[in-house]
Amino acid sequence: MTTTAPQPGEARRATVFLAVAMAVFALLDVAIYLNVQRTGGPLGPAAGLVLSLVVDACLLALCRFPRAVAVIAIIATVVAAVGDTLVPGTFTPVNPATPVTAPLCTPVIVWFLAHTLPRREVLAYVAVLAVAATRPWVPSWETAYAGSTTVVLPAVLGLYVRARRELVGSLRQRAESAEREQHLLAERATAAERQRLAGEMHDIVTHHVTEMVLAAGALKVSTTDRAAQAAAEQIRSTGSRALAELRDLIGILRHGHEHSHEYGHEDKRGEPPHVMLAPADVCALVEAAVSAGNPTSLYVTGEPKAVTPAVARGAYRVLQEALTNAMKHAHGARVDVELTYDHGAVTVTVTNAPPPRSSDTFLAASGSGTGLDGLRRRVLLLGGSFEASPALCGGFRVSAALPASVPTDEAPSTSNGGRPDD
């Protein structure tokens, strides 16, 4: 077994305590020597005082060298016991004022040893100290009682406190381990539910949407009515976009992307091709906002880089929804759109000023109020971060930071430049 090293904070407190204890016991030994008792043996009247002061001085080294201090305390106690046995009064007066024969600081040393050294080693030191302090070869109830309370009692209490502290630490570790296990089980259950939902969406929803897209395409080819062809093309285009969104969602559900980022696991499967967030689509959204009456400016920071299609569509949706909300709730207000590229990641920020007082706000009540919540869930599912809050200028600010890569099950062509359109 190894020595139990105290923590840095505990070591500092222990050092301060031991310094104070050394001063107190040294003053106490000097006071007893001056006012109560002195030795009368061949080594002079201060022999016991010198022996006690040597042990007191060793308290400062108790943190770093507990074994050495324990050996010194044992040697001092044994020397005093043997010296007084051979020549009574050498280190302890023949009629002492107190029955304590071990150094007065012995309880502090024993207590500290019980908290730092292995138990068997502590018991060995305590056994030797107890024999020397109780002096069983000179039977005396007072000496035996004083030696036991000075050596044995601090050792028992120290070992008990240590055992209780270790038990509490062990229970805390078990509780933390159980909590981690419960968290892991919850994560596994979540992953299983994601797999189930992904399977049902793939087997049911995508199947029916694909049938709709194919039927719309067939209708467009088979009919000669221009209106029917336009409606069929709109249905086909909308269905294709829905299929792309479903592929994103199904792939992310199967991969559990945000959890893999959190725990540092890398996806083993190949990533889909990277595409660029199409500048034409972004400009189209900005121009639509300008046409609706909101002066809109676009700022691009960093070098645009290719991202996975799911990220491109997510950034497009954030920009689309934020501009739509600005047109609804702050019609006529100025809007600033910022696209920031940093190490492949893309951040979309849309900030609108407060609406003019003369602005018509009849569109503000036309929304369902769930657009921002849907954006937040979408961005978090992609492994990004989302923020929507009042801006310092008095308007509103929507910001979404998206990673460059999100593994999904799709492998689309890159001809569309990352647009949400098929």
pLDDT tens digits for range 374-407: 788 888 888 889 999 998 888 899 999 998 876 6
In which band, very low, low, confident or very high, does the pLDDT at 167 lie, cut at 50, 70 and 90? very high
CA dihedral 353, 354, 357, 363 (to 10 degrees): 100
The reply to whether 274 falls in a domain is no
Q: Is the pLDDT of residue 349 over 90?
A: yes
What's residue 417's pLDDT? 43
The string of pLDDT tens digits covering residues 295-316 is 999 999 888 888 888 788 888 8
Q: Could you tell me if 73 and 101 lie in one domain? A: yes
The reply to whether 21 falls in a domain is yes
Q: Could you tell me if 121 and 202 lie in one domain? A: no
Predicted structure pTM score: 0.47
What's residue 263's pLDDT? 32
Q: Could you tell me if 67 and 165 lie in one domain? A: yes
Q: Is the pLDDT of residue 418 over 50?
A: no
Q: Could you tell me if 33 and 63 lie in one domain? A: yes
Q: Could you tell me if 249 and 286 lie in one domain? A: no
Sign of CA dihedral 348, 353, 359, 360: positive
Q: Could you tell me if 160 and 40 lie in one domain? A: yes
Q: Could you tell me if 12 and 149 lie in one domain? A: yes
How many Å separate Cα 415 from the centre of its chain?
43
Three-class secondary structure assignment of the chain: CCCCCCCHHHHHHHHHHHHHHHHHHHHHHHHHHHHCCCCCCCCCCCHHHHHHHHHHHHHHHCCCCHHHHHHHHHHHHHHHHHHHHHCCCCCCCCCCCCCCCCCCCHHHHHHHHHHHCCHHHHHHHHHHHHHHHHCCCCCCHHHHHHHHHHHHHHHHHHHHHHHHHHHHHHHHHHHHHHHHHHHHHHHHHHHHHHHHHHHHHHHHHHHHHHHHHHHHHHHHHHCCCHHHHHHHHHHHHHHHHHHHHHHHHHHHHHHCHHHHHHCCCCCCCCCCCCECCCHHHHHHHHHHHHHCCCCEEEEEECCCCCECHHHHHHHHHHHHHHHHHHHHHCCCCCEEEEEEEECCEEEEEEEECCCCCCCCCHHHHHCCCCHHHHHHHHHHHCCCEEEEEECCCCCEEEEEEECCCCCCCCCCCCCCCCCCCC
β-partners of residue 103 are none
What's residue 386's pLDDT? 92
Q: Could you tell me if 250 and 341 lie in one domain? A: no
The string of pLDDT tens digits covering residues 34-88 is 877 666 667 777 888 888 899 989 988 888 899 999 999 999 888 888 887 787 7
Q: Could you tell me if 167 and 216 lie in one domain? A: no
The string of pLDDT tens digits covering residues 189-214 is 877 777 777 777 767 777 778 888 88
* 43's tokens: 């080594």
Q: Could you tell me if 44 and 141 lie in one domain? A: yes
Q: Could you tell me if 24 and 103 lie in one domain? A: yes
**Domain end (from 116, 144, 173):** 173
Q: Could you tell me if 380 and 328 lie in one domain? A: yes
Scan for tokens 């150094």, then name that residue.
Answer: 103
The reply to whether 178 falls in a domain is no
Q: What percent of the chain has pLDDT over 70?
A: 82
Range of the domain at 358: 279-402
What's residue 266's pLDDT? 40
Query: What CATH number is given to the structural domain containing 349?
Result: 3.30.565.10
The reply to whether 322 falls in a domain is yes
The reply to whether 187 falls in a domain is no
The reply to whether 411 falls in a domain is no
Number of compact structural domains in the chain:
3
Task: Calculate ∠ Cα 132-137-141, nearest 5°.
Answer: 85
* Mean pLDDT for the stretch of residues 339-361: 82
**Domain end (from 218, 236, 262):** 262
The reply to whether 418 falls in a domain is no
The reply to whether 73 falls in a domain is yes
What's residue 380's pLDDT? 86
351 close to 397: Cβ distance less than 8 angstroms? yes
Q: What percent of the chain has pLDDT over 90?
A: 15
In which band, very low, low, confident or very high, does the pLDDT at 350 lie, cut at 50, 70 and 90? very high
